[in-house]
């Protein structure tokens, strides 16, 4: 009880780290007055002012576990969030999900135009890697190059972009649960996993075995995140989500809800949470924030 009180509440921790990540994103995005202005304004529109920042919070929690300096973790977390933000901008384009609402506001191509939104996504991806080349993030530079490789692999054709391709290909099909899992391990899982590992790489407080535990934890959390997303998409209102609800069914996309029903999907998300918590059990009190984030992800909104 006393330890928890000293560490501070999850709310206070989250609040402090959300401020930290917003301030870094504000700073690393080129100012709206810098040419080409419209592109820079659109990049800021796409990244700032909204988003749950789940990936940065995961990076901060893993970074604390690895005894990393929070300034370093904040940059690594910003890189991951820039990749996430770019993927949303491209995912919302007419040739992809063709969506008009994101974080309670018009999507980037609606507020600006399609060509600008395309370039916004492209330039946000470049900016993510620029941060990894520009700032000192890890104790040794070999580890920092490892972070470049890790984020790139998680973003690319065998990670997030590959997951999007599988997603496109699955429209109108009914997938089995293992097929769904394969898709989501790529589409959302890879970047969530990268977020935790990027945070952990900023410190040197974890040995190889402990690092593997964080990895295992993040894999389960990533899948749980997607299962919860599917349930929320099926059961929530657009107003609550801040993005268009029910669009999976409308777009004939296979989901955990369509594959197993909402009740079983909810049950699966709880199982995945338990697996995630089991993976970090041996850390004891040191993994408090990771446990709280797992709960935050799985228990949100239902």
115 contributes a contact to its own copies by CB under 8 A:
yes
- Binding segment for its own copies (CB under 8 A), chosen from 16-24, 60-68, 130-138, 278-286, is 130-138
38 contributes a contact to its own copies by CB under 8 A:
yes
Helix residue spans in the chain (DSSP H): 2-7, 10-28, 37-47, 54-65, 70-91, 108-111, 114-134, 141-155, 160-169, 177-184, 190-201, 208-235, 238-241, 247-250, 256-260, 262-279, 288-299
Instruction: Give the per-residue contact string, 70-109, with its own copies (x = CB under 8 A; - = no).
Output: ----------------xx--x--x-xx-------------
* Subset of residues 220 to 279 that bind its own copies, contact rule: CB under 8 A: none
Residues 6+ apart with CB under 8 A from 151: 79, 80, 83, 128, 129, 132, 194, 198
Residue 107 or 125 having the CB closest to its own copies: 125
125 contributes a contact to its own copies by CB under 8 A:
yes
Residue 94 φ/ψ region, left for φ over 0, alpha for ψ in the -120 to 50 degree band, beta for the rest: alpha
148 contributes a contact to its own copies by CB under 8 A:
yes
- Binding segment for its own copies (CB under 8 A), chosen from 147-155, 196-204, 240-248, 276-284, is 147-155
Residue with tokens 């997607």: 226
Can you tell me which of 14, 17, 107, 144 binds its own copies, judged by CB under 8 A?
A: 144
Can you tell me which of 18, 101, 110, 165 binds its own copies, judged by CB under 8 A?
A: 165
The CA-based angle 113-116-121, given to 5 degrees, is: 125
Nearest one of 158, 144, 234 to 191, comparing CA atoms: 158
132 contributes a contact to its own copies by CB under 8 A:
yes
Q: How far apart are CA 290 and CA 286, in angstroms?
A: 9
Which positions touch its own copies (CB under 8 A)?
A: 30, 34-36, 38-40, 43, 86-87, 90, 93, 95-96, 113-116, 118-119, 121-123, 125-127, 129-130, 132-134, 141-142, 144-153, 155-159, 161-162, 164-166, 168-169
């Amino acid at each position: 009880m006393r330890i928890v009180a000293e560490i501070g509440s999850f709310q206070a921790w989250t609040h402090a780290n959300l401020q930290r990540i917003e301030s870094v994103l504000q700073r690393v995005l080129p100012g709206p007055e810098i040419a080409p202005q419209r592109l820079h304004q659109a990049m800021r529109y796409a990244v700032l002012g909204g988003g749950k920042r789940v990936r940065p919070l995961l990076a901060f929690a893993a970074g604390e576990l690895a005894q990393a300096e929070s300034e370093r973790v904040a940059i690594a977390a910003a890189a991951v969030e820039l990749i996430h933000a770019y993927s949303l901008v491209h995912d919302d384009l007419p040739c992809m999900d063709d969506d008009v609402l994101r974080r309670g506001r018009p999507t980037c191509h609606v507020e600006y135009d399609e060509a600008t939104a395309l370039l916004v996504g492209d330039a946000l991806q470049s900016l993510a890697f620029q941060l990894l080349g520009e700032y000192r993030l890890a104790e040794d530079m070999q580890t920092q190059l490892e972070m470049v490789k890790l984020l790139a692999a998680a973003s690319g054709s065998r990670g997030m972009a590959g997951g999007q391709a599988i997603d496109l290909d699955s429209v109108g099909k009914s997938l089995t649960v293992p097929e769904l899992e394969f898709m989501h391990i790529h589409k959302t899982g890879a970047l969530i996993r990268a977020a935790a590992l990027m945070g952990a790489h900023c410190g040197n407080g974890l040995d190889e075995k402990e690092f593997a535990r964080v990895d295992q934890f993040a894999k389960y959390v990533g899948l749980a995140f997607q299962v919860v997303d599917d349930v929320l998409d099926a059961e929530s209102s657009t107003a609550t989500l801040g993005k268009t609800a029910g669009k999976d069914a409308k777009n004939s996309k296979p989901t955990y809800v369509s594959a197993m029903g909402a009740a079983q999907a909810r049950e699966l998300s709880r199982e995945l949470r338990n697996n995630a918590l089991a993976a970090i059990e041996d850390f004891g009190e040191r993994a408090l924030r990771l446990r709280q984030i797992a709960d935050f992800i799985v228990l949100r909104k239902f």
